[in-house]
Structure 1
Amino acid sequence: MKFLVLSAVLVLAAFAAAEQYTDRYDDLNVDEIIANKKLMEAYMNCVLGKGKCTAEGKELKSHIQDGIQTACEKCTDKQRQKARKVVNHLKDNEKDYWEQLKAKFDPEDKYKETYEAFLAKND
């Protein structure tokens, strides 16, 4: 019986871990990207489908729609912090990019309440 319970716990833990985005790029320096217009432009062009993507950019692009719809539910803690930092920077300082992101990933403002609540958190 103990083996069965332990097995069930391990399966659930493995399933929960699989439900998170990879942490491979958790140490990406978003401060450097925010501070460098050229880097910011390259990442934004990637995400918006207007330019080439780095490996990090491809990973971000593949999860951005889901992240918007679920308030970054599958993000690691570092990813949540960095997502808030970058998106709030875009909203405050790069309004054109912010509008383009919204137009591409939430054109009907269907998820606005979800991502705005996520962005307002400080966890």
Structure 2
Amino acid sequence: MKFLLLAFLLVCAGVSLARRVPRYTDIYDSIDIKTIVANRRLLLPYVLCVLGEGKCTAPGRELRSHIKEALETRCAKCTEAQQRGSRLVIAHLINHEPEYWAKLTAKYDPAGKFAKMYERELKEQV
């Protein structure tokens, strides 16, 4: 009986640990992405930072450090707020800033493996 209880506890612990996916920091989750996307003057510094063409704020550096992995994994390590925000930003870039979307995909997805998927999903969304 003790063996069954121990086995059950080990299985439960294993399932619990397997479900835990490391997440990106949520320190910037309260940033108002809609306001940034709606104002090109606020948006472009982030885009230029991620492209390595401009100065970076702390949130910009954090974004730049994870962008490739996040694009490739469909934001698997993102919080819910980051997932919503990334879809909003990507949709905006695809639909309203195609030149910057092209630069970003050339840098982070040169084979076009992930960009096409996002374009199919988010074309004309915003």
TM-score in terms of structure 1 length: 0.80
Aligned to 1:27: 30
Aligned to 2:3: none
CA distance in 1 between counterparts of 2:21 and 2:111 reads 32
Match of 1:46 among 40, 46, 49: 49
SS in 2 for 1:60: helix
- Aligned pair 1:64/2:67, yes or no? yes
CA distance in 1 between counterparts of 2:94 and 2:120 reads 14
Taking the TM superposition and a 5 Å limit, the aligned residue runs for 1:1-123 are 1=6, 8=14, 11-12=17-18, 16-18=20-22, 20-116=23-119, 119=122
CA distance in 1 between counterparts of 2:115 and 2:102 reads 12
* Contact persistence 1:70–1:114 (CA under 8 A): no
TM-score in terms of structure 2 length: 0.78
**RCO (CA 8 Å, sep 6+): is it higher in 1 or 2?**
1
**Consecutive unaligned residues in structure 1, runs of 5 or more:** none
Bigger CA radius of gyration:
2
Instruction: Let me know the Cα RMSD of the aligned residues.
Output: 2.2
> Residue 34 of structure 1: CA displacement?
1.1
CA distance in 1 between counterparts of 2:39 and 2:89 reads 12
> Residue 36 of structure 1: CA displacement?
1.8
Displaced runs of 4+ in structure 1, greater than 2 A?
Answer: 1-13, 110-120
* Counterpart residue type for residue 34 of structure 2: D
- Number of matched pairs: 118
C-alpha spacing 1:105/1:63, structure 2 compared with 1 (3 Å): same
C-alpha spacing 1:56/1:118, structure 2 compared with 1 (3 Å): farther
CA distance in 2 between counterparts of 1:7 and 1:101 reads 41
